[in-house]
C-alpha cells in the first residue's frame, strides 16, 4: 500500500499529485508538445505549479526520460554564457558545434527556472532559438512572465516557432473539483462553510 503525504492532496505551492485537475492551459500545452518543431514557453508567478504542470503535460504527451532533458536555471545562475552552461550540463567542450550535437540528441530540453539565468544568457538563448528550431532542437522554457517576455521580444519571428502559455487564475468549477478529489482521497467530507472559505481563499492562487 502506497503512503502519501498530505501535500499530495492539498498543496498551495504546487500542483498536488492526487488532486491534480487539468488547468485551462493543459490540453493546449500537450498539443504544442505533440507538434513537431515547436518551442514552448510556460510562465507564471513563483510557486504557482509551472514545473509540475510541465511534467504532467510531458507525461500526457508520451515524453519521458529517454526523449527529454531537464536543465535547472538555478544551477547555473552565476554562469555568464550559454556555452559554459551547456558545456557543464553535458560535460563537453565549450564549443557550440559540440553542444548542438548534444541538444539534438536530447529530445525536448526543458529549461526550468529560466528567470534565474543572467539576462545576457537569456537574451542569447532568444537569438539562438530561431536557428535551433531550423535544425530540430526544441526547448520548453519555464519561468516567470517578465523574463520570458523579454526573451520573446528579441525576435518577432520567434512567435511563430514558439507557443506561449501563462498560468492564470482557475475558475470556481476547477476549485470545486480539487476539493472533491481531496475529500475522496482523505476519506472526509468538508462542511459547506469550509468549502466556501476555500473558494474565498483561492484569491490570487493559480492552482
- Yes or no: say if 89 and 71 are a contact pair by the CB < 8 Å rule: yes
Q: Which has the higher per-residue pLDDT, 23 or 125?
A: 125
Size (the chain), residues = 207
Q: What residues does each domain of the chain span?
A: 6-18+170-201, 26-166
Find the range with the poorest average confidence among 9-23, 38-52, 90-104. 9-23
Cell 513563483: give the residue. 46
CATH superfamily ID and name for 26-166 = P-loop containing nucleotide triphosphate hydrolases (3.40.50.300)
The pLDDT of residue 58 is: 95
pLDDT digits (tens, 9 = 90+) for 145-198: 765 566 666 666 666 788 889 887 777 788 888 888 888 888 888 888 887 777
pLDDT digits (tens, 9 = 90+) for 29-59: 999 999 988 899 998 887 777 888 899 999 9
- Yes or no: say if 38 and 11 are a contact pair by the CB < 8 Å rule: no
What pTM does this model have? 0.80
DSSP-based three-state secondary structure for 57: helix
Q: Strand pairing of 138-143 and 108-112?
A: parallel
User: 50: closest CA among 19, 29, 77, 32?
Assistant: 29
- Yes or no: say if 102 and 142 are a contact pair by the CB < 8 Å rule: no
183 strand-pairing partners: none
- Report how far residue 67's alpha carbon sits from residue 59's, in angstroms, rounded to the nearest whole number: 11
Cell 526543458: give the residue. 110
Amino acid at each position: 500500500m502506497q503512503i502519501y503525504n498530505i501535500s499530495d492532496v492539498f498543496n498551495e505551492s504546487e500542483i498536488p499529485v492526487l488532486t491534480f485537475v487539468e488547468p485551462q492551459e493543459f490540453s493546449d500545452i500537450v498539443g504544442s508538445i505533440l507538434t513537431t518543431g515547436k518551442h514552448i514557453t510556460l510562465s507564471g508567478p513563483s510557486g504557482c505549479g509551472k514545473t509540475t504542470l510541465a511534467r504532467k503535460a510531458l507525461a500526457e504527451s508520451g515524453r519521458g526520460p529517454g526523449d527529454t532533458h531537464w536543465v535547472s536555471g538555478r544551477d547555473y545562475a552565476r554562469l555568464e554564457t550559454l556555452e559554459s552552461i551547456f558545456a557543464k550540463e553535458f560535460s563537453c567542450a565549450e564549443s557550440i558545434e559540440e553542444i548542438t550535437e548534444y541538444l539534438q540528441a536530447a529530445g525536448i530540453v526543458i529549461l526550468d527556472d529560466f528567470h534565474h539565468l543572467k539576462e545576457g544568457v537569456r537574451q542569447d538563448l532568444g537569438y539562438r532559438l530561431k536557428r535551433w528550431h531550423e535544425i530540430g532542437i526544441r526547448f520548453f522554457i519555464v519561468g516567470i512572465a517578465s523574463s520570458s517576455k523579454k526573451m520573446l521580444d528579441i525576435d518577432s519571428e520567434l512567435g511563430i516557432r514558439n507557443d506561449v502559455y501563462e498560468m492564470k487564475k482557475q475558475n470556481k468549477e476547477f476549485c470545486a473539483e480539487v476539493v472533491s478529489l481531496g475529500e475522496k482521497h482523505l476519506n472526509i467530507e468538508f462542511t459547506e462553510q469550509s468549502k466556501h472559505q476555500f473558494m474565498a481563499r483561492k484569491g490570487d492562487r493559480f492552482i
